[in-house]
């Protein structure tokens, strides 16, 4: 193991090339640019031996990954915000065609107004595409999750694309130490990619052909079953990686000081990391509160959240808004609890447009919820 100090983007690039994809196709967009530049550097130094395809748009980047993956290649790309949105059609395609593409998405605000800072509306609005979605909270977790993403995507009971999300600038451009294992460990963990099926002139088949309603219905059900398998596999893969690398960032949730808690905070991404400091401070002042950082939102951690709802009242912070309803995590947590728990669920919107969310802000939100003042969702920092 070697400790390197670098930005989230460059550590993601390091993990991606250590997984040895045969094809990377990408188009630059702030704040993802330094990630794909780092891969270009690895092409120049010879450390990346696959094909790097420079395309004319994100739609083409995902299309190239789909083609390469269908031909049996391990495939990686990265994007952000409007780039992810331009891929939207092909995100559905990659998932329905059951292609294990791995992609980093740097969570950035959707315009207008033009804004390059963090919120999670870009990836949250892709929840229904069939992609598995991870949210990272540190550069170490980015490295480990990118490696785990390939293992999960390519598993014969999953065969679905995986999106690894990291927050713009707070993670993408901030240098932090990350412990990078020897190449041999990654090679042993992932093995070489053996596609379950592929375009092959020895066995000619057509992908993406017309299918009738009955069969299409089965295709959708098979995707749902694959996500259910992924839900069981994520803890196994996290623990297998822990044995090899020593690093573990939780399963679908990362539970932090939840023992005996009467309130549990749920948050994601960089706010999830900041929340730990808030929980430490609140516990010091006698509050019985813990943290469940949501690491995976698809597949949704249904059973884990029901268990939390049976233990404690829940507080949810969303750095996204499903306009016309509420924050997506708030909605989905309540959905998971329906008929299973009587827990109160308090919701906050915070940090949209890259507005800073400090541990003090998180403490304030938690304190408000613990006083029982919030049932409906509150726009933190706007309501005063």
**What residue ranges bind another protein (CB under 8 A)?**
96-98, 159, 196-197, 203-211, 215-216, 218-219, 221-222
Q: How far is the CB of 195 from another protein (least distance, A)?
A: 10
- Per the CB < 8 A criterion, the answer to whether 131 and 62 are in contact is no
SS3 7: strand
The dihedral sign for the CA sequence 30, 35, 39, 42? positive
Nearer to another protein by C-beta: 13 or 159?
A: 159
Nearest to 374 by CA among 315, 292, 286: 315
Half-sphere exposure of 295 (CA within 13 A, CB side): 26
Nearer to another protein by C-beta: 194 or 211?
A: 211
Whole-angstrom CA distances from 264 to 256, 271, 287, 351, 352 are: 9, 15, 11, 20, 22
Q: How far is the CB of 151 from another protein (least distance, A)?
A: 18
Residue with tokens 């002042």: 285
Q: How far is the CB of 214 from another protein (least distance, A)?
A: 12
Q: How far is the CB of 212 from another protein (least distance, A)?
A: 10
The dihedral sign for the CA sequence 216, 218, 219, 224? positive
CA angle, 241 then 245 then 250, to 5°: 50
Q: How far is the CB of 221 from another protein (least distance, A)?
A: 8
Nearer to another protein by C-beta: 3 or 205?
A: 205
H-assigned helices in 253-301: 269-284
Nearer to another protein by C-beta: 192 or 203?
A: 203
Cis peptide before 113 (omega within 30 of 0): yes
Nearer to another protein by C-beta: 2 or 203?
A: 203
Q: How far is the CB of 100 from another protein (least distance, A)?
A: 11
Nearer to another protein by C-beta: 211 or 382?
A: 211
Nearer to another protein by C-beta: 215 or 338?
A: 215
Whole-angstrom CA distances from 289 to 2, 116, 274 are: 36, 33, 15
Q: How far is the CB of 218 from another protein (least distance, A)?
A: 6
Using CA atoms, how far apart are residues 255 and 79, in angstroms rounded to an integer?
A: 29
């Amino acid at each position: 193991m070697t400790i390197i100090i670098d930005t989230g983007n460059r550590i993601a690039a390091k993990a991606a090339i250590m997984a040895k994809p045969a094809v990377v196709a990408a188009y630059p967009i702030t704040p993802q640019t330094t990630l794909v530049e780092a891969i270009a550097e690895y092409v120049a130094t010879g450390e990346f031996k696959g094909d790097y395809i420079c395309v004319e748009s994100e739609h083409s980047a995902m299309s190239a990954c789909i083609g390469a993956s269908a031909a049996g290649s391990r495939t990686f790309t990265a994007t952000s915000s409007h780039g992810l949105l331009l891929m939207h059609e092909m995100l559905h395609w990659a998932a329905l065609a059951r292609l294990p593409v791995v992609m980093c998405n740097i969570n950035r605000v959707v315009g207008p107004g033009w804004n390059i800072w963090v919120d999670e509306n870009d990836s949250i609005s892709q929840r229904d595409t069939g992609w598995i979605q991870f949210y990272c909270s540190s550069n170490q977790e980015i490295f480990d999750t990118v490696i785990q993403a390939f293992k999960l995507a390519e598993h014969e009971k999953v065969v679905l694309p995986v999106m690894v999300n990291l927050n713009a600038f707070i993670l993408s451009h901030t240098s932090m130490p990350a412990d990078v294992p020897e190449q041999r460990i990654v090679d042993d963990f992932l093995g070489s990619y053996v596609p379950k099926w592929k375009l092959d002139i020895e066995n000619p088949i057509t992908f993406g052909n017309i299918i009738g309603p009955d069969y299409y219905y089965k295709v959708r059900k098979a995707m749902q079953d694959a996500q259910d398998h992924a839900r069981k596999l994520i803890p196994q893969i996290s623990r297998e990686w822990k044995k090899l690398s020593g690093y573990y960032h939780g399963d679908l949730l990362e539970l932090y000081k939840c023992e005996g808690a009467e309130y549990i905070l749920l948050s994601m991404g960089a706010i999830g990391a900041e929340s730990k400091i808030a929980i430490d401070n609140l516990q010091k002042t006698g509050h019985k509160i813990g943290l469940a950082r949501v690491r995976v939102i698809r597949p949704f951690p249904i059973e884990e959240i029901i268990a939390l709802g049976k233990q404690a009242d829940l507080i949810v912070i969303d750095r996204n808004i499903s306009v016309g309803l509420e924050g997506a995590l708030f909605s989905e947590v309540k959905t998971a609890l329906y008929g299973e728990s009587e827990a109160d669920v308090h919701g906050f919107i915070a940090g949209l447009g890259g507005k800073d969310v400090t541990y003090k802000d998180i403490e304030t939100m938690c304190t408000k919820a613990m006083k029982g003042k919030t049932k409906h969702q509150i726009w933190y920092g706007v309501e005063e």
